[in-house]
Structure 1
């Protein structure tokens, strides 16, 4: 029987993305991988001196529960040495519940949502939807606990209108994002039969349908009045899966950018020879890239600059004294790999791609270049990855956008400018970017992990061959 097996890395990634319907879940699952690899959780609010940070030590911390930084100190690290950095993001375009989401319309209970990021919103119609995110739960002692929630069963749906009532739908499907993109939760008749009504004084039930609050409370095994606030995203309950006649595709939500986040974490935990590394290896998973990164936990915040500065100025155990300019010295020995998914060559829209740049699935991670620096790649930074790929026979590709097409951007340019940090933008190729269901190649997960792993293992030595200031 013809039934090819997908690479194990792709199967493991599918398990990861199925557990990660929100940035909070993505961050949690990344932390789980780190903990299994021996990484120790530390806090930004604590001092990192007094012998906390050691050579070959492995550490991570989270911010807001939706962003994460993890690092491992090289065995030959000294203050002023460089950082080998990979940056990615945990968020994806989605619908998020409004602060007051309760809607009653035409005999239905609907949930009011906001549009997060630049999604292909027409793909959210006629999908089996649910909610996931974090809930602030009041404890018996009056404290509030950050609690993850994921309702596995479909409880929401946004139905399209029948072709009989809109004969032009196939020629031009358009809709009002405020009035026609509201998910249906239940009928008013069935909701009344449940007997679930708003309880006086319970603020969450005043702002949201009591039926929704009861579903959340039952899932978390708490009382409805304990739910004080939440940040919930709508997500597609259809699981990520392997597909295609040759089992060569990943059909999944949130490939952009959970795939590169996963590759980065796996690369950090699997990289070897830390005892001979003179650098600090670091991964930063930011939130809010899809809306511009200008938040306290986004790439345009102080998260990475402050972390690098603290590490450069920390008295690592057994290291020599810290120079007053250790941070400034280290930046110019460092590089950032900005890892965000790339556009694969689309067979049905081939004219949308530049004629000499056709990234394809299974043919390697893509180096993204833009003359106007929408991507931060330079000849020097791209050569770093090209040299590593050549040495280890890892496939790699290049991409530029057509001159008559707009170009997206990433966290790379903003971090490069903020820190004066050499940066290269890369990503695995995919189709249907920003759709509720995206499409990638199974081989590319392994390609991405391997490329980023050898970057961690060898950049500190390779960097010495580059004499460009």
Structure 2
């Protein structure tokens, strides 16, 4: 007999978010829509928005990944950005106020279509791809994959960048049959350049496909043309998705993604089975916490700190980009809200940054991979991540503050430190702490991190939202009770 049980409401909302966000571009767009529905107003980095701030105001802006002056981007829908910063002002805000920040990232290890992707071999149409981040690449084999990203297209006013998500299984990276490789189960290693090339279709289907005649067959394509870089059928598919002509496509950034949707799992729906939980899980919780808190009548007069969330890109490859955590995004916000050296220093001293990224849950088949006293469990509450070598930014002060904030909501805290004989990963926390703001690294426990299908606890979505909400509600008052001078 099948057992049917509904899951936590927050987890169900997360499923909708991650299923609609196959790329960082989509995640930022969907986060922006959620914030706008909660009354946040979009501002632009290039504008002098400081003079227009109002008491209790709610604002957000996104950062362009690239800018070409002849492009007329549709910025209203934030479709070309992959980093977002949103904040609310206290009622009597003035320069020098602290910031309560939740910082996350929206990128995940995946495969990305090369600038010249056209490949043909043994009668197959193939697509050249590049690996991004430290993925568990064998988990991408024999999966029903598709494409999503952004496409630069011609428009009546110049050029624009549009989101695309192909909602059907399109490509696949097939494994070799065990009959042809009897040792396949003894080693999962394979050559990522020659043995990891997706199949798009058969050459015969391309040869028999109906094509539009070029408008000027003897005209040499311009430098911005990508028509010769990719299979014509791939360009035709993108054009159909966008309701344009193939020759109107001038460039794109396409990511491969798994078409199997995120779902609740486990006998009591205690799990989430999903791609990209590292780290759309934390990003969703941050957006939801700020949107709910800012929309709630219990939010009161909005006194205290400026409450802020920052969603970054490129964490999986070092964060060194204009939309990464090592960019000027957060320092710029501090400087624009507190433009004098004295106010800036005061603001830093009153602030707390919670770096939120997923943590490693104890694996029942690999107990030896965890230190005996640091074994986080899924649905066991917030994980505080500590590392003496500063791969995480947590210290005793930050840990204490997070514990008190979790305690306010009746939650639980778990501790994680890596074993001495294992390398420790890192987060956006250490690089953001260098501006002087108190920083603590937290997360929720998950299994199969960096696999195409990860596992997390369905109740931990609400645990993350509760911590971030507690930060927004009560940090400034809690900080007044702490004396460390």
TM-score range, shorter chain: over 0.9
2:365 corresponds to: 348
Which of 318, 338, 363 aligns to 1:312? It is 338
Q: How many residues align?
A: 457
SS state of the match for residue 205, structure 1? coil
Given the two structures, how large is their TM-score scaled by the length of structure 2?
0.92
Counterpart CA distance in 2 for 1:348 and 1:196 is 54
CA distance in 2, matches of 1:280, 1:378: 23
In the TM superposition, 1:14-163 aligns within 5 A as 14-50=15-51, 52-64=52-64, 65-141=81-157, 143-163=158-178
| Structure 2 alignment gaps of length 5 or more | 65-80
- More deviation in 196-205 or 184-193? 196-205
Q: Where in structure 2 are the equivalents of 1:417-428 lying within 5 Å? A: 417=434, 419-428=435-444
Distance 1:73 1:276 in 2: 7
Corresponding residue of 1:362: 379
Deviation at 1:392, TM superposition (A): 2.4
Shift of 1:194: 1.1
Give 1:10 deviation, angstroms.
0.3
Structure-2 residue corresponding to 1:209:
231
CA distance in 2, matches of 1:441, 1:138: 44
CA contact (8 A) 2:50 2:336 kept: no
Task: Encode CA deviations 1:428-469: one digit per residue, 9 max, x unaligned.
Answer: 110000000000110000110011101111001111122224
1:68-100 residue CA offsets vs partner (Å, 9 max, x unmatched): 000000113221110000100010000001110
Distance in 1 (CA, whole Å) between partners of 2:302 and 2:46 is 30
RMSD over aligned Cα atoms: 1.3
> Hey, what does 2:288 align to over in structure 1?
266
Instruction: Please give the secondary structure, in 2, of the residue aligned with 1:206.
Output: coil
Check conservation: 1:76, 1:279, Cα contact below 8 A: no
Q: Distance in 1 between matches of 2:341 and 2:227?
A: 55
Q: 1:429 aligns with which of 423, 437, 445?
A: 445
Distance 1:324 1:163, change over 3 A: closer
> Equivalent residue of 2:338, what SS?
helix
Q: Equivalent of 2:276, from 254, 261, 281?
A: 254
CA distance in 1, matches of 2:472, 2:181: 55
Contact 2:409 2:466 in 1 (8 A): no
1:276, distance to aligned residue in structure 2 (A): 4.2
Following the alignment from structure 2 to structure 1, what is the Cα–Cα distance between the partners of residues 141 and 231?
A: 22
**Alignment partner of 1:195 out of 210, 224, 242:** 210
Following superposition, the deviation at residue 5 of structure 1 comes to: 1.5
**Residue 413 of structure 1: aligned partner:** 430
Distance (Å, rounded) in 2 between the aligned partners of 1:210 and 1:198: 12
1:207-245 alpha-carbon deviations (Å, 9 max, x no partner): 011100000000010111111111110000000011111
Instruction: Name the structure 2 match of 1:299.
Output: 325
Structure 2 counterpart of 1:396, from 388, 413, 432: 413
From 350, 353, 363, the counterpart of 1:336? 353
1:282 corresponds to 2:298: no
1:105-144 C-alpha deviation (Å, 9 max, x unpaired) = 1110100001100000010000000110111111023x21
Judge conservation of contact 2:111–2:131 (CA < 8 Å) in 1. yes
2:471 to 444, 455, 466: 455
What SS is found at the alignment partner of 1:468? coil
Q: Does the residue aligned with 2:44 lie in a helix, a strand or coil?
A: coil
1:15 Cα offset (Å) = 0.3
Partner-residue secondary structure (3-state), 1:13: helix
Shift of 1:277: 2.0
- Residues 396-423 of structure 1, C-alpha deviation per residue, up to 9 Å, x if partnerless? 2110101111100000000101x11110
Structure 1 residue 227 and structure 2 residue 249: aligned?
A: yes
The corresponding residue for 2:480 is: 464
* Corresponding residue SS for 2:185: coil
- Sort the Cα spacing of 1:274 and 1:224 in 2 relative to 1 into closer, same or farther, 3 A: farther
Q: CA deviation at 1:311?
A: 1.7
The 1:440–1:80 alpha-carbon spacing in structure 2 relative to 1, beyond 3 Å, is: same
Q: Is the 8 A contact 1:217 1:224 kept in 2?
A: yes
Residue 324 of structure 1: how far off its partner (Å) = 4.7
Q: Distance in 1 between matches of 2:330 and 2:244?
A: 36
Residues 140, 276 of structure 1: alpha-carbon distance in 2 compared, 3 angstrom cutoff: closer
Work out the CA distance in 2 between the residues paired with 1:468 and 1:361. Answer: 34
The one-character-per-residue Cα deviations of 1:29-63 (angstroms, maximum 9, x if unpaired) are 0001101100000000100133x111210000111
